[in-house]
Chain A
Amino acid sequence: MIDVLIIGGGIAGLETACSLQDLGYETVIVEKEKTIGGHLNDWDTLFPTHRSAAEVLEHYTEETRKRALTIYLNTYVISIKKQNDGIFEVQTSRDVVFHCKSVVLASGYQLFNAERKEEYGYKIYDNVLTSADLEKRLKNLQGEFTTPTGVTPKRIAFIHCVGSRDEKSGNHYCSKLCCVTAVKQAIHMKQLCPQADVFCCYMDLRMYGPGFEEMYREAQEKYHVQFIRGRLSEVAENANGSLQLKVEDTLAARPSRLQVDMLVLMVGMETAKSTELFAQSCGLECASNRFVKTKDHHIGSNQTNVDGIFTAGASIGPLSVFDTVNHAKSAAFAVNDYLKAMK
């Protein structure tokens, strides 16, 4: 019998597993991908310090290796059942059934599929990217930065809140991290292409975390990124592959057209499909944003309505790396309290 089964091998799962192992518990991680690290694998740099994501990933890889954590890769969890004796039976895609005293959902999030905003032309116009696509391009960058059609960009636009605060796409909530990611990426583009004009079209700028507001100020004062308060209504392609944007400038109180060489859609975060499946299988309550509902928002954010099932990281909603790591550490303490009480 293992003490804790952790679903998800991203930084939340890894941090929780390391902390629990250090507290003396036997843990197992199941990860659906072929490697650990989750979304961090696809990210180039992290806000607000522009630190390499690979460095953080390397830290967790090393910590995992030192503790010889047991990790099942390429493994999906199909269902979680709590038995009468309080032990959980976890069915996986490998025909392996785990029995454990507690479960930690560290299944994270998935990015909003920008194709759903048809009017933005993602996957139709070559020079429309998502924030995740841009991170991949930056991560693999060799030499000069060019747009997908091979042009050195002279004008670049970032669109905030794509699939966030958008009831039409079913996501009424704020994804919280896209604003600061756009600021970070806008600065990065100005560093790579100093001659380019960079625009950010935003609804509100939610610079909630330490260092975020400073970075926003730096983007304006040092890098001259232009922030336009207003939404994008539609995108079209010009004959040369550049893009025409129809945007609203609510401060100037007028609609306008922007011509750009590249458009970056700041895609929001949604609950992982797999989390919804687990939730159904074990009667976990979800909030109106479809993420797992915490038992107590203020003093029990790792607990759920099912005793013995805990959350770590973005399975409860959009969280930064900073917040995820802290939430994962607190998950370890919550599990510790539960297991001690079991004895």
Chain B
Amino acid sequence: MNLEGKKQIWSSYQKDIAEDNYYYARSCIRQNFYPASEVTFLRILREELGKNIFDDPNHTTCTGIGYHSDIVPFDTIQTVIARHFALMTEAGLENIAISCVTSFGMYTEILDLWEHFPEQLEKIREYLYKATKREFNVPKNIAHTSDIIYKFREEIAQKAKYKLINKETGEPLRVVEHIGCHYAKMFPTKGVGGAEFPQVLSGMIESWGGNVVDYPERRHCCGFGFRNYLIQANRGYSVSNTKKKLESMKPFKPDFIVANCPGCAMFMDKWQYTLAEMEGVTYDENGYGIPVLTYEEMAGLVLGYNPWDLGLQTHQVQCESLLDKIGIEYDPKAKYLDKNGNQLPIPESPMNLKV
């Protein structure tokens, strides 16, 4: 592996990421499965980096999952996204920060379409006006929220309480990074580092002390693939894709996986439980599975945030082994307390995946 070769490719895929003043476009999946990740993103931007970001309660789904499942027509999703741009315009903002990789792909695709087919843009302006009486400007800058964390990775490193280093051995942690397909595969120039050797997550990992694991099935789908999962009969295909990835990364003994896509984080995490139940296999040495983090959770850990505030207890693969490796302090008793200190129900333990 020649890092210089990667750097050469990275130099061709650098993008402009706005410095400040963002309109926040939330993710449906992340709000439900990893709500603390989005909260952490806002906390990092506002409290650590002093940025202005507007979290708008009027923002809705982009309908991307429906679009990719052939349920939502293209004109409809364009109009929904045009409404988001109208909300951004009404808020006096020009930069949009998108939490979901599929939304990011949709916004990017639609902006590209409007650039090439201005008559389509005019048609959508008309649709939106008829439906809502709203008007909009297209954003000046469009960034995925992982782009923004990447942009400020060195500032975060300066404030870091922990590094991605094994406390016992002093060695960098081995980190698998996984980029969502819709982040850069459709438009390689819109992703930091391009589609083949993306830099967006590896840049964070390296800045915060870890080493990136480059394993053979690095580019393979996480297993979500929309229809693979959404149609129940296809779910075996979804699991088999995730299994392929996990088997490929296993010999590299990764300490954790980090993803920038809601679906990727979810499937690589939850299918580890499924595979453990189906086949009795786990992909770490001790039977706990490989923890899967979002990039905000990784940033939050580095910044010394309480792991339970980051929502790590809501993951399928539990993270204590990782916390211990880094040397992060945590209170095991507080794992299932709500924000007022009340005990929440403790989930049952799986049969084969240790907790």
Residues of A within 8 A of B (CB): 115, 118-119, 121-126, 234, 236-239, 244
Contact = CB atoms under 8 A, between A and B. Distances in A.
List of 6 A-B pairs having minimum Cβ-Cβ separation, nearest first: A124-B5, A123-B5, A236-B216, A118-B196, A244-B216, A119-B196
A118 B194 contact: yes
Interface in B1-31: 1-2, 4-6, 8-9
A238 B216 contact: yes
A328 B330 CA distance: 78
B235 interface: no
B1 A124 contact: yes
Interface residues of B, number: 19
Given A115-B9, A118-B196, A236 B218 contact: yes
Given A118-B196, A236-B216, A244-B216, A126 B2 contact: yes
Contacts of B195: 118
B71 to A, nearest CB: 29
Contacts of B215: 236, 239
B251 A239 contact: yes
Interface in B239-277: 251-252
30 contacts: A115-B5, A115-B9, A118-B194, A118-B195, A118-B196, A118-B197, A119-B196, A123-B2, A123-B5, A123-B8, A124-B1, A124-B2, A124-B5, A124-B6, A124-B9, A124-B197, A125-B1, A125-B2, A126-B1, A234-B219, A236-B214, A236-B216, A236-B217, A236-B219, A237-B1, A237-B216, A238-B216, A239-B215, A239-B252, A244-B216
B321 to A, nearest CB: 22
B259 to A, nearest CB: 18
A234 B220 CA distance: 10
Nearest to A242: B216
Contacts of B4: 123
A244 B217 CA distance: 9
A95 B127 CA distance: 65
Nearest to A257: B216
Interface string B86-119: 0000000000000000000000000000000000
B4, B194, B214, B218 pick with most chain A CB within 10 angstroms: B214
A130 to B, nearest CB: 13
Contacts of B1: 124-126, 237
A237 to B, nearest CB: 6
Contacts, number: 41
A71 to B, nearest CB: 35
Nearest to B3: A124
A116 to B, nearest CB: 10
A237 B196 contact: no
B112 to A, nearest CB: 17
Contacts of A239: 215, 251-252
Contacts of A126: 1-2
A240 to B, nearest CB: 9
Nearest to A118: B196
A237 B1 CA distance: 8
Interface string B48-60: 0000000000000
Nearest to B194: A118
Nearest to B213: A239
Contacts of B196: 118-119, 234
A128 B1 CA distance: 10
Interface in B193-225: 194-197, 214-219
A321 B8 CA distance: 34
Contacts of A118: 9, 194-197
Contacts of A121: 5
A239 B174 CA distance: 13
Given A124-B2, A236-B219, A237-B1, 10 more contacts: A115-B9, A118-B9, A119-B196, A124-B5, A124-B6, A124-B9, A236-B218, A238-B216, A239-B251, A244-B216
A234 B217 CA distance: 10
A317 B196 CA distance: 31
A266 to B, nearest CB: 20
B233 to A, nearest CB: 22
A332 to B, nearest CB: 43
A121 B216 CA distance: 12
Determine which residue in B196, B216, B217, B218 has the highest number of CB atoms from chain A within 10 A of its CB, and name it: B216
A234 B214 CA distance: 14
A174 to B, nearest CB: 25
A159 to B, nearest CB: 16
Nearest to B9: A118
Contacts of B218: 236
A126 B2 CA distance: 7
Contacts of A122: 5
Contacts of A234: 196, 219
Nearest to A238: B216
A115 B2 CA distance: 13
Residue of A118, A123, A236 with highest tally of chain B CB at under 10 A: A118
A239 B247 CA distance: 13
A125 B194 CA distance: 17
B323 to A, nearest CB: 27
Contacts of A124: 1-2, 5-6, 9, 197
A319 to B, nearest CB: 31
Nearest to B214: A237
Nearest to A236: B216
A119 B196 CA distance: 6
B176 to A, nearest CB: 13
